[in-house]
Amino acid sequence: MIDQLIERIKKLKAPIVVGLDPNLAFVPDQIKEAAFKECGQTLEGAAEAIWQFNKGIVDAVGDLVPAVKPQIAMYEKFGIPGLEAFGKTVDYCRQKGLVVIGDIKRGDIGSTSEAYACGHIGPVCVGDQEFYGFREDAVTLNPYMGSDSVMPFIKKAKESGKGVFILVKTSNPSSGEFQDQELADGRRLFELVAGKVDEWGADSVGRYGYSEVGAVVGATYPEQAAIVRKLMPKAYILVPGYGAQGATAQDILPNFDENGLGAIVNSSRGIIAAYTKEKYKEDYGPEGFADAARAAVLDMREDIGSALERRQAAGK
């Protein structure tokens, strides 16, 4: 996964992942109406609406970005029909050549994590046959239960050429409650987790020096990002929190290495709901939601690209 991701990032000059977190509240009315007409105002109708919405977004931005990150909660919310839309979205994006990061934040005791790993980065065996439940290229994981909860995913990832991103310091306001706790040895919890991520990834470093074991570090915490970047030099960092959650291009810089690699920045609402934002509203509107998303990706690429260039120029 990691080499393919880095190659696409370099080729497209876009360390950007589009978060496919479709909330019905910002799916344009024309899409919802058509979906409800076809499937009723039901779970099936909601799922059809988010699937059609996703397709529009992916068709509009798929040539600009290396990766997408569907947040499974937004689909699981609508039960089985929603999860079908998740599966279809994953498959559609992979067909377009996008790296698909399933934002699933799973983690459990060993045998259970293994079941999740089979289901998401697969394959899963039924008798002597192999199948894929869902088929992401990488998934996000929660580390609270320790090594034996993440190792089955890492093992499966190695076998299947896939990857994982482990929560180290999350973007939400209360992430510090546990993650920033100072330990008896002076480190903070997220630093200990970052050290473990480095260990866990040691065996799966690809050709660019980065491992299949990446990390999640919220854009909203640049100070912590600077610390963990050093603690886990081989971990690619998935950076949520840019845009809608308040972080700027300046804030995400500490996640990147000196070559402008090492991090990929997520934006969800900032891109997929761009047509509702002041900046794009007038030019696009609901009918132009996909074009607005494309414009937002171009603006984000420019914003991050020039911040990286300014840093480069300043020789930092």
Out of 105, 158, 277, 281, pick the active-site residue. 105
Among 28, 87, 254, 260, binds a copy of itself (CB under 8 A): 87
User: CB within 8 A of 179, min separation 6: which ones?
Assistant: 168, 169, 170, 188, 189, 190, 193
Contact 24, 77 (CB under 8 A): no
Smaller CB separation from a copy of itself, 142 or 160: 142
Among 1, 16, 74, 164, binds a copy of itself (CB under 8 A): 74
Instruction: Point out which span in 103-111, 205-213, 229-237, 279-287 binds a copy of itself (CB under 8 A).
Output: 103-111
Contact 165, 138 (CB under 8 A): yes
181 is a site residue for a copy of itself (CB under 8 A): yes
SS3 string, 129-181, reads EEECCCCCCEEEECCCCCHHHHHHHHHHHHHHCCEEEEEEECCCHHHHHHHCC
d(CA 137, CA 155): 14
The Cα-based distances of 133 to 16, 124, 259 in angstroms read 27, 7, 37
Minimum distance, C-beta of residue 174 to a copy of itself, in the bound complex (Å): 3
Whether 234 is catalytic is no
205 is a site residue for a copy of itself (CB under 8 A): no
**Site residues for a copy of itself, window 238-267 (CB under 8 A)?**
240, 245
Smaller CB separation from a copy of itself, 6 or 217: 217
Contact pattern for a copy of itself over residues 12 through 51, marking x by CB under 8 A: ---------x-xx-----------x----xxx-xx-----
Q: Provide the annotated active-site residues.
A: 105
